[in-house]
Structure 1
Amino acid sequence: MNDTLELDQETAALKMPPHSLEAEQSVLGGLMLDNQAWDTVAERLVADDFYRYEHRLIFNAMTGLAEASQPLDVVTLSEALEGRDQLGTIGGLAYLAELARNTPSASNIRAYADIVRERATLRKLIRAASQIADGAFSPQGRPADELLDEAERLVFQISEERPKSGGPIGMSELLAKAVDRIDELFNMQGEMTGLSTGFRDLDEMTTGLQPSDLVIIAGRPSMGKTTFAMNLVEHAVIASDKPVMVFSMEMPAESLMLRMLSSLGRIDQTRYVPVNWRTRIGRG
């Protein structure tokens, strides 16, 4: 940790863009040692994430070979780069051999790829911050709100460009998770595995609302879909003590709250009409 802090301080003092040549070399060398690691790296990195120009050329060549289902090794890479007239630019066959020789193992290639991606994100933040500062120093007649929108766009763009979680999952990993799930269900002895809906028959059929499930309530207009959904919300909040967020695209928040109060108070919603409530309460 201290070594990393000292390296970051030295980089900041020299005003050099954040990068790790060692991590970049380990990623490229690891791919030549273990072609099976390509999917792990490809879902994390693109060529522009590499700081060194030669490494970007090598990774581009690897991408082309992988898409053609060709092996990634010193020979195939040298041929691919020579075909692009880039072999001499990256240092020739000797540099490719050095990458493979100086990488002891590909077992940590995911960690190396994460380092490369992190440094690339930092460089993008620096470029975005520089553009934001230039715009603030020289707005050229643009209002502050417009500059703020541009700053948000630049930062959000970096976030959107980051690789998303997920991706292909191997059968061995899926099988292990399935066995663990079966063991968990066996030990529960028939207990509910999800969040109770508050409707006994529905809970018996579904064993509750399961994590990560997308549940769609379908029906014709005015059939009670919103009321039913709000009943699920009420039960989750009150009975299960779970936080719930409601997004409504067609009904204002006040109307949803009135429906919930009606349900909890066992009040007919049709009685929410503009009349003299004191008179109505007196009659009731």
Structure 2
Amino acid sequence: MLRRQRRIPTAGISLLNRPFSHRKGRLKNMNDSMNDYTSDDYPEYEESSPAANLPLPPHSVEAEQSVLGGLLLENSAWDRIADVVVGEDFYRHEHRIIFRTITALINENRPADVITVQEFLERSDETEAAGGFNYLISLAQNTPSAANIRRYAEIVRERAIMRRLAEVGTEIARNAYNPEGRDAAQLLDEAENKVFQIAESTAKSKQGFLQLPDLLQEVVERIDMLYARDNPDEVTGIATGFVDLDKKTSGLQPGDLIIVAGRPSMGKTAFSLNIAEHVAVEGKLPVAIFSMEMGGAQLVMRMLGSVGRLDQHVLKTGKLQDEHWGRLNEAVIKLSDAPMFIDETAGLTALELRARARRLARQFNGRLGLIVIDYLQLMESSGRTDNRAAALGEISRSLKSLAKELQVPIIALSQLSRSVEQRTDKRPMMSDLRESGAIEQDADLIMFMYRDEYYNPESQMKGLAECIIGKHRNGPVGKIHLTWMGQFTKFDNAAYVPDMAMVEE
């Protein structure tokens, strides 16, 4: 008995030479006609075969043809779709080839019409792969105009995103059935990262120009609010707890990428933790700390010493005296109530860090007070580049993008090159930032930590540290003095003189 048969798309050129899915005449109202191929377009195969039950990936051949036809008719339409669609977004292989060819010609300021595209394809021996000369003619002839080309490009892009989501969904399901030793938490992280990669790839096409009147209104309202403050010295961002620093910066501003740099033992981690403690303990704002160098328990030990003014050696050896227990208990209570979260995963990529920060932000309705990353050079690149400077550039750009997205200040610690040690004056400079090009460019605020007593034991600056502002995109640069209490791993305002009875030997 004969079985009922259906049709799937042919692989040959014959179908391509039938203009626009065998429609007669020019397309009418393509916004209403973006459906996929029907079963009539498919070659015969038996319904009992496994392929009969497989749905086609999301795509719109008509939209792809209209984008290509519009560009062939009107090269100036390129400016309307360049930020929307790329060659890989096209479902049909021949469409990808044609789009890449048109793109290459336009980028060289050469005309891209049926003749020039055909000539280009012949030189690269891709004419047949692109469907042939007749198919190029049909693309141009069956497209009325390029008037709606941006909408067609958006449809192509949307279908490409749907295909990628389907691929990722299949991969997630496959990993769930065959985890290969990974636990559920790891699989969730991987799944979220894959989905975020798709979301990141769509972000650029959603951005556009902002109108000046709207921006003016926003800025004037902010100026008016600042003018009406009772205290003109009040910080407008996130207070650090360091008075002189807050005066220069008006606090850490949401959306800013802040680099804290220094040679080893200068107090980079202690300084950043002190700020994090102030934001979480005093400001009660959520703080995320990504510690790729020290473990979580080690960080908490430092915090207990800093908040409770307890000697680190006493804490590490457990040699507490009676007077220590009260301060330890008080520090534990303060830190227990602080919304502070530590991730001690080593070698995070910018994408992984971004996913975890977003997840934490969602727990607090999108509002984080501060993100601290210790430190930049220990992060891994999401790409495949072997160039460390390029990898760090990718990381710093991603962190700046995350700061803007979540509207949170991000403090990223950075190492300095050994060239500092070669100079007589070992105060750091901008050129000392290791692989500094992209970091220097992306950062809104760069602060260098320096303790003279580390290099000069007889220094008159004993017990003092310098916070050198090397770059401040929206304010003054300069130097701030801080008190350094090494036994507590704590910085304090330079004007503050601690009670000597509280200072252990």
TM-score scaled by length of structure 1: 0.69
Q: 1:241 to 1:224 in 2, by over 3 A?
A: same
For the residues of structure 1 that align with 2:191 and 2:308, how far apart are their CA atoms?
49
| Matched residue, 1:257 | 300
Q: Which shifted more, 186-195 or 248-257?
A: 186-195
**What letter corresponds to residue 58 of structure 2 in structure 1?**
P
CA contact (8 A) 1:54 1:90 kept: no
Q: Given the alignment of the two structures, is residue 163 of structure 1 paired with residue 206 of structure 2, yes or no? A: no
Structure with the bigger percentage of helix? 1
For the residues of structure 1 that align with 2:244 and 2:112, how far apart are their CA atoms?
57
| Matched residue, 1:140 | none
CA-CA distance at 1:181 after TM superposition: 6.0
CA contact (8 A) 1:61 1:81 kept: yes
| Cα deviation code 1:228-263 (max 9, x no counterpart) | 111111122233332221122332211211222233
TM-score scaled by length of structure 2: 0.42
For the residues of structure 1 that align with 2:92 and 2:215, how far apart are their CA atoms?
43
| Matched residue, 1:139 | none
| Matched residue, 2:248 | 205
**What letter corresponds to residue 107 of structure 2 in structure 1?**
E
**What letter corresponds to residue 25 of structure 1 in structure 2?**
Q
For the residues of structure 1 that align with 2:191 and 2:318, how far apart are their CA atoms?
53
Q: Given the alignment of the two structures, is residue 85 of structure 1 paired with residue 163 of structure 2, yes or no? A: no
CA-CA distance at 1:129 after TM superposition: 7.3
For the residues of structure 2 that align with 1:247 and 1:14, how far apart are their CA atoms?
44
Q: Given the alignment of the two structures, is residue 231 of structure 1 paired with residue 274 of structure 2, yes or no? A: yes
Q: Given the alignment of the two structures, is residue 186 of structure 1 paired with residue 229 of structure 2, yes or no? A: no
**What letter corresponds to residue 258 of structure 1 in structure 2?**
M
Name which of 36, 46, 50 aligns with 2:87. Answer: 46
For the residues of structure 1 that align with 2:59 and 2:164, how far apart are their CA atoms?
10
CA-CA distance at 1:128 after TM superposition: 4.7
For the residues of structure 1 that align with 2:262 and 2:309, how far apart are their CA atoms?
24
State the identity as a percent. Answer: 35
Q: Which shifted more, 58-67 or 32-41?
A: 32-41
| Matched residue, 2:103 | 63
CA-CA distance at 1:18 after TM superposition: 2.1
Name which of 44, 58, 61 aligns with 1:18. Answer: 58
For the residues of structure 2 that align with 1:185 and 1:118, how far apart are their CA atoms?
38
Q: Which shifted more, 188-197 or 174-183?
A: 174-183
CA contact (8 A) 2:305 2:315 kept: no
CA-CA distance at 1:26 after TM superposition: 3.8
Q: Which has the bigger relative contact order, CA under 8 A and spacing at least 6?
A: 1
Q: Given the alignment of the two structures, is residue 112 of structure 1 paired with residue 155 of structure 2, yes or no? A: yes
For the residues of structure 1 that align with 2:82 and 2:56, how far apart are their CA atoms?
31
For the residues of structure 2 that align with 1:46 and 1:153, how far apart are their CA atoms?
27
For the residues of structure 2 that align with 1:251 and 1:153, how far apart are their CA atoms?
24
CA contact (8 A) 1:230 1:260 kept: yes
Q: Which shifted more, 262-271 or 204-213?
A: 262-271
Q: Secondary structure at the match of 1:163?
A: helix
CA-CA distance at 1:267 after TM superposition: 2.9
Structure with the bigger percentage of strand? 2
Aligned residues: 262
Q: 1:153 to 1:245 in 2, by over 3 A?
A: closer
| Matched residue, 2:320 | 277
For the residues of structure 2 that align with 1:247 and 1:155, how far apart are their CA atoms?
18
Q: Given the alignment of the two structures, is residue 247 of structure 1 paired with residue 294 of structure 2, yes or no? A: no
Q: Give unpaired runs (5+ residues) of structure 1.
A: 137-142
Q: 1:19 to 1:71 in 2, by over 3 A?
A: same
CA contact (8 A) 1:121 1:158 kept: no
CA contact (8 A) 2:81 2:149 kept: no
CA contact (8 A) 2:239 2:246 kept: yes
CA contact (8 A) 1:124 1:158 kept: no
Q: 1:100 to 1:188 in 2, by over 3 A?
A: farther
CA contact (8 A) 2:94 2:131 kept: no
**What letter corresponds to residue 223 of structure 2 in structure 1?**
F
**What letter corresponds to residue 65 of structure 2 in structure 1?**
Q
CA-CA distance at 1:40 after TM superposition: 0.8
CA-CA distance at 1:36 after TM superposition: 0.9
Give the superposed CA RMSD.
Answer: 4.5
CA-CA distance at 1:55 after TM superposition: 1.6
CA contact (8 A) 1:234 1:260 kept: yes
**What letter corresponds to residue 117 of structure 2 in structure 1?**
L
For the residues of structure 1 that align with 2:288 and 2:146, how far apart are their CA atoms?
49
Q: Secondary structure at the match of 2:289?
A: coil
| Matched residue, 2:418 | none
Q: Given the alignment of the two structures, is residue 145 of structure 1 paired with residue 186 of structure 2, yes or no? A: no
Q: Secondary structure at the match of 2:265?
A: coil
CA-CA distance at 1:158 after TM superposition: 8.5
CA-CA distance at 1:200 after TM superposition: 2.2
**What letter corresponds to residue 87 of structure 2 in structure 1?**
V
